[in-house]
Structure 1
Amino acid sequence: MGKISDLYRERVASGKLEPDAAQQAVLPHLDRVLDDLAQLPAATSGKPRSGWRAFFGGGSSPAESGAQVKGLYLWGGVGRGKSMLMDMMAEASPLPARRVHFHEFMQEIQVGLNEARKRGDQDAVKPVAMAVAAKVRLLCFDEMQITDIADAMIVGRLFQVLLDQGVVIVTTSNRAPEELYKNGLNRQLFLPFIALIRERMDVVCLDSQTDHRQGRSTGGQVWFTPANAAAREALDAVWAEETQGAAPTPLVIEMKGRSFDLPAHAGDVARAGFWDLCGKPLGAADYLALAQRVRVLIIDGVPRLSSANYNEAKRFVTLIDALYEAKVRLFASAADEPELLYAEGEGSFEFERTASRLREMQDADWGGEAGGQPPNPRDI
C-alpha cells in the first residue's frame, strides 16, 4: 500500500493533519515494519494458514523459514497521535492486518481461553493464539496497558506464540515497557514479557509536547460541574432532547449468562449514576456490551477519584475506554473538570489518558450510530 510517511505527508498537504515533528520522527520506524512485511518470501506472505495445519502449527511458518519481522513498541504521553498512527499503519499494511484496542483484544482472548479450557486443552493459550495467527499477519494494538493479573499472567505466552508464528506486532502505550504492570501482584512472573518486548520489538518514544486532543471541542456543553441541582437539570434537558421526551424504562444488558441493569433508557439513549455503573463488580466485557448497545450515555454524579475509591476509579477508566472505542456520545455531571478529577495518588498517572479522552469526547463531531454487534470471540 506504500509508506506511512507518504500517507502522512498527503494528509498534511490536504489539511487533514497538522504537522508534528515528533510524529514525523517516528514515521521511519513504521515504514521499516511495512517494508519488511512487503519483502517477506511468497511462502509466508500469501494466504494465512488455515485448517488443521494452522491449528496444530503445521505448514511453513515465518519462524521456520527464517523470515521474521521485528515489531514496534511506540510509547509516549496521551494525545500525541499514537492512535492515529495505528489507524494509518493498519490501512497501509500490505498483508492482512487488524487494528484493535489492546483491552478489547485481551477480553476476546480471555473468552477464547475459557472455551479452550472447557474443551480440555492442556495449553489453552496456544490454540487461541494460533487462531489469531491464521487470520492476520500484522496486529496493531492501541493503548497497551496491563493492570489485570489475569492478563498479566498470560500475555507473555500469548505474544510468544504469536511472534513465533510470524505475526508482527505494533503497539502503542503511555508507558515504557519497564513501567507496565508496575507494582502488580506477582510482577516477577511478568518480567519475562518485558524482556520479550525488548528482544522482538523496537522500542521508540513519541516525544511530542503537543496534546492533539486539547482545544478540539467546538460543540455544546457535555460535561457539567459541579454535580449539583443545576447540573442535574441540564442533564434532564439533554435526556429530553436526545429521547424526544420518551418515558424511561430500565435497560438490561445481558452478557455471558448474566446481566446488569441501568435505571433508565429510551431507544439507544441510556442514563445512570456513577455508582450504578462503577460501584458494582463490572468488567470490560460488561462495558463493551453496554457501549455496543447505546448511542448516548448520560452519567450523573462522577465524584473525585483517589486511592480511597480506587476500584470504582479503575472501573470508570475501563468504562470510558469502551465508550471511546465505540464512539458513544457521553454527557456527565462531575465534581470537577476531567484533568482535576484524579489529581494525585495511585492511579492518577493512568487517569491522564482517561482525562484526555474525556476532553476529546466533548468534540461536536464525536459519536454517531449505536455500536452494532459486539465482537464475536470466535472471530479473534
Structure 2
Amino acid sequence: MRHAMVHDPVNLLKRYQSRIAQDGFQSDPYQERAIQSLQILANAVLSRTDRRGWFGIKRKAAPVRGLYLYGPVGRGKSMVMDLFFASLPDDVKKRRVHFHDFMIGVHDFMHNRRLAASGKADNDVRDSALLAFADDLARHVRVLCFDEFHVSNVADAMILGRLFAALFDQGVAVVMTSNRAPDDLYKGGLQRDRFLLFIDLLKNRMEILPLSGPVDYRLQYLESSGVYFSPLGSAAHEWADQIFAHLTDGVDAHPDVLEVRGRTVPVTQTARGVARFTFSELCEHPLGAEDYITIARTYHTILLEGVAKLGYDRRNEAVRLMTLVDALYDAGTRLIITADAPVDRLYHGHDHAFEFQRTVSRLTEMQSTEWFARTAQSVSEWHKNDTVRTDGRV
C-alpha cells in the first residue's frame, strides 16, 4: 500500500505581502519576481517530500533546481529567502547558514579525514572527504540556504565544484544570496580558470535571478527611523535594538577583536558590517585616532549607545568623541547614536566649545539624506569586497 505525507500548500506571496505591510513598505516587483521563483522551489520541495514509495519507503530524492539571488545590498535578498525558509514545514529538514561558517565546517571535516587517512594520496583523501561530507549533509538536510555567498580564497575555490556537484546529485535543494553575479565570483583569484567549472555548475543547476531594484530598503529604513535618539532610557535601548536587528537582518551577532599596533580593541557585537559599541567602550577608555580609524575601515555602520552630556569634568571623553566622529566622517562610515541630549546640547563646557562645533556640524550632516546617499557606495563596496574581514563577513 502506498503511503504519503501531504503538506498544506505554502503561499509565499501572501506571506510576503503581510511582511511588507507590517514593515510599512510597498510591494516591490523585483522582490515579487523572486517570490515567484521561491514558490516554485517550495512546491518542488514539498512535492518531493510528500512522495513515498511502496510500504512508506522513501525513494531517492530527485535533483531540484535551486535559486541563486544576487544584487546590491538592501534590496531584500535575505528577507525573501528567510520567508521561503520559514514557510517550509518543520518536518522538512532544512538549514540556513552563512557561507563563511559553512566552509569552516567543510574544512574542519576534511582536516579530520586527512588525519585519519595519513599515508594516502592527498587528492584521493580530498575527493573521498568531500563525497563523505555531502553524503552526511544530505542525510540531515534537504534544503540548504546560504546567506552572503562569496568566494575569497583559493582553498574554497578548488573544492566548491566537487562539493556542490555531490550535493546537487544527492537532491539537496540550494538557495543562495550574493552581492555578485556568478560570472563575477572570485574575479582575479588564483587559479580562477579551475573555478570556472563551478560557475558553469551553478548556471546549469540553479536559476540565476538578479534582485536589483532601485530602492535600498535598509537606507529607506534609516531615513524614516532617524539615526540619533535622545534622551537615554529604555525607549532609546529598544530603538537601538530594532535598528541593529533591521540592519543585520536579524542574524546572530558575535563579538570581535581588532588589532591596532599590538593592542586589541574589543567589539561587543557585530554582524553584516554593523558594529555595536557603548560610549564607555569607545570614549571612556584610552583609545586614539588609530583605533577609531581601524574601526571606521572595518565596519560600514557604527551603533554608538549611551553618549553622555559632556562638560569640563568629561573633557577627555569629549576629545575622544570628536576624534571618533572625525574618523567615521572621513571614512564615510555611518553612525547611529543614542545620547542623553540633542546634538546641539551635547557639550556644555568651555575648553573645547569651539572645536566641538565642528563635531555638531558633522553629526548633523551625518543624519541627512545627502549623507545617506554619499555613504551608500561605501556600504556597497564593503559588501562587494571579497576579503574575509576580521568578523568573518564580507
Deviation at 1:78, TM superposition (A): 1.1
The correspondence of residues 181-330 of structure 1 with structure 2, limited to 5 A, is 181-217=186-222, 218=225, 275=260, 296-297=276-277, 300-303=291-294, 316=298
Q: Secondary structure at the match of 2:144?
A: strand
Deviations 1:137-196 (A, max 9, x none): 111111111111111111111111111111010111111111100111000110000010
The answer for the alignment partner of 1:256 in structure 2 is none
Partners of 1:149 and 1:81 in 2: how far apart?
A: 29
Q: CA deviation at 1:336?
A: 2.4
Whole-angstrom CA distance in 1 between matches of 2:115 and 2:24: 49
Correspondent of 1:81 among 66, 76, 87: 76
1:159 is aligned to: 164
Q: Is the 8 A contact 1:274 1:302 kept in 2?
A: no
Distance 1:221 1:15, change over 3 A: closer
TM-score normalised by structure 2 residue count: 0.57
Which of these two proteins has the greater Rg computed from alpha carbons?
2
Aligned counterparts of 1:42 and 1:289: Cα–Cα separation in 2:
42
- The separation in 2 between residues aligned to 1:208 and 1:93, in whole angstroms, is 26
CA distance in structure 2 between the aligned counterparts of 1:146 and 1:23, rounded to whole angstroms: 25
Q: How do 1:64-143 residues align onto structure 2 when only pairs under 5 Å count? A: 67-94=62-89, 95-120=92-117, 121=125, 123-143=128-148
Tell me the residue number matched to 1:26.
34
1:333-344 equivalent positions in 2, closer than 5 A: 334=328, 335-338=330-333
For structure 1, the 5+ residue unaligned runs are 50-58, 223-236, 243-267, 281-286, 306-312, 355-380
Are residues 71 and 274 of structure 1, via their aligned partners in 2, closer, same or farther at CA, if it must alter by over 3 Å?
same
1:149 has 2:140 as partner:
no
Structure 2 contact 255–270 (Cα < 8 Å) conserved: no
Identity of aligned residues (%): 32
In structure 2, the CA distance between the partners of 1:272 and 1:36, relative to structure 1 (3 Å rule), is closer
**TM-score normalised by structure 1 residue count:** 0.59
Structure 2 unaligned segments of length 5 or more: list them.
1-8, 118-124, 238-252, 283-290, 306-323, 334-372, 386-394
Q: What count of residue pairs does the alignment treat as equivalent? A: 267
Partner of 1:179: 184
Q: For residue 140 of structure 2, give the secondary structure of its aligned residue in structure 1.
A: coil
Structure 2 residue identity aligned to 1:109 = V
C-alpha deviations, 1:40-73, integer Å up to 9, x for none?
165679xxx9xxxxxxxxx9532xxxx2211111
Cα distance change of structure 1 residues 133 and 205 upon mapping to structure 2, 3 Å threshold = same
How big is the shift at 1:14? 4.2
- SS at 1:111's partner residue? helix
**Is the Cα–Cα contact under 8 Å of residues 139 and 169 in structure 1 kept in the other structure?**
yes
Q: Could you tell me how far apart the structure 2 residues matched to 1:341 and 1:13 are?
A: 28
Using a 3 Å threshold, how does the CA distance of structure 1 residues 4 and 127 change in structure 2: closer, same or farther?
same
- The one-letter code matched in structure 1 to 2:93 is P
